[in-house]
Structure 1
Amino acid sequence: MLHTRESTTLPGKYLNTCFIAIMGTALLPLLQFFHDQLYYQRHLIEASEIWRLWTGSLVHTNHWHLALNLAGTWLLVFIAPSTDSKPMQLLQIVWLATCVGLGLWLLSPGVIWYVGFSSILYGLFMLAGIRLLFQKDWLMAALILLGIGGKTLWDWQQGGISPSAELIDAPVIYAAHLYGMSGGILLGIASLFQKQLKP
């Protein structure tokens, strides 16, 4: 009886844990067909195409760009799987996309256009790293937080020009990564307070 119960609950648990990666793998390639209608473009946002503040993070410059972000999403699933519900994971993505879009709009007026899921992904990595800190998984938390922070610092020092920039045919917009990371840190802090408030 116990074996039967576990066999029916494990697939659901696995799908919940891998939800973002599965959704991204299914949805992001399809959104490439609507790239021109979705990417972040400042003058088009000024012309009332407000949705681009959010959808810019869901399209990519080329197939290498898309593949790198999907690989990073699956890596996150395997090293720090989320235990949040599917609706909560969707809300996290919307929050991070909002942080990136508004951050670029309000704080980086020099960024004329932007695409890529990496800014959201950086935020998800930061959220995972903070959770692992509170779970006292010091090594994995340090690898994630220092790895993502170090990569962003390196991109900044290189002025956005790096081997990955050549691969994706565009400079790395490290400001967008910073906004995504900031959103992830805020999510991590909010998660901590929520746990403290629970009886």
Structure 2
Amino acid sequence: MSQGYYFPLLFSACLLLLQPWQETLLFQRNLIDAGQVWRLWSGNLVHTNGWHLALNLGGFWLLVGLHLTPTKSRTLFSQILFIGTGVGLGLWFFSPQIAWYAGFSGILYGLFMLSGIRCLQQREWLLAAILLIGIGGKTVWDWHTDSSITAQWIEAPVIYAAHFYGMGCSLLLALLPAPKTT
């Protein structure tokens, strides 16, 4: 097995193993306000149900399988950490109407955006267009339509703000030089 798969496998296992602690890790504004600040970040690691987790892991493994994530574990971990922090802080400071949040999708949308930007930088025009138009188009589509199918699957409203914050963080990351080896 390629070394590039060890961290994604470990990370996926962590998402599965953390699910029983959803109530303790969920982004909940009132509990964060009461001092449980870890929830700013840990809400990205738990999901509303199995379908929600499966959808997020499916997207993550699509990026991994297409070799669009860095093969260096430290680089991928840093990207996830940065984007996840941005999602949590974005929800906290700029979306006060959001009382709770669960899911990896904010980070996932950021990883898709970052992959598309990196493809642009490497002049892989077609793949960049597919990724950027795809993730941007899906976000705008979801935002302007009633994505009731997704909401039914995950048994919760879709928090589009998390997707926007994740993509915004990926734009900030893209300003940094690309790693020498991916």
Say whether the fold is shared (TM-score over 0.5). yes
Matched letter for residue 52 of structure 1: R
Picking from 150, 167, 174, the partner of 1:181 is 167
User: Deviation at 1:53?
Assistant: 0.3
- Structure with higher RCO (Cα < 8 A, 6+ apart): 2
Picking from 98, 109, 115, the partner of 1:111 is 98
**Equivalent residues, number:** 180
Q: CA RMSD in A?
A: 1.6
Question: Does the Cα contact within 8 Å between 2:109 and 2:167 map onto a contact in 1?
Answer: yes
**Paired-residue identity, %:** 52
Check if 1:15 corresponds to 2:8: no
Question: Does the Cα contact within 8 Å between 2:70 and 2:76 map onto a contact in 1?
Answer: no
Of the structure 1 ranges 23-32 and 81-90, higher mean CA displacement relative to structure 2 is found in 81-90
When the two structures are superposed, what TM-score results if normalisation uses the length of structure 2?
0.93
User: Deviation at 1:81?
Assistant: 2.8
Structure-2 change in CA distance of 1:188 and 1:20 (3 Å): farther
Matched letter for residue 180 of structure 1: G
Report the Cα distance in structure 1 between the residues aligned to 2:71 and 2:63, rounded to whole angstroms. 14
Structure-2 change in CA distance of 1:175 and 1:19 (3 Å): farther
Question: Does the Cα contact within 8 Å between 1:21 and 1:70 map onto a contact in 2?
Answer: no
Picking from 99, 102, 106, the partner of 2:89 is 102
Question: Does the Cα contact within 8 Å between 1:155 and 1:162 map onto a contact in 2?
Answer: no
Where does structure 1 differ by over 4 angstroms across 4 or more consecutive aligned residues? none
Report the Cα distance in structure 2 between the residues aligned to 1:25 and 1:93, rounded to whole angstroms. 12
Structure 2: runs of 5+ lacking an equivalent = none
| More helix as a share of residues | 1
Report the Cα distance in structure 2 between the residues aligned to 1:64 and 1:142, rounded to whole angstroms. 28
What residue is the counterpart of 1:167 in the other structure? 153
Structure 1: runs of 5+ lacking an equivalent = 1-10
3-state SS of the aligned residue for 2:47? coil
When the two structures are superposed, what TM-score results if normalisation uses the length of structure 1?
0.85
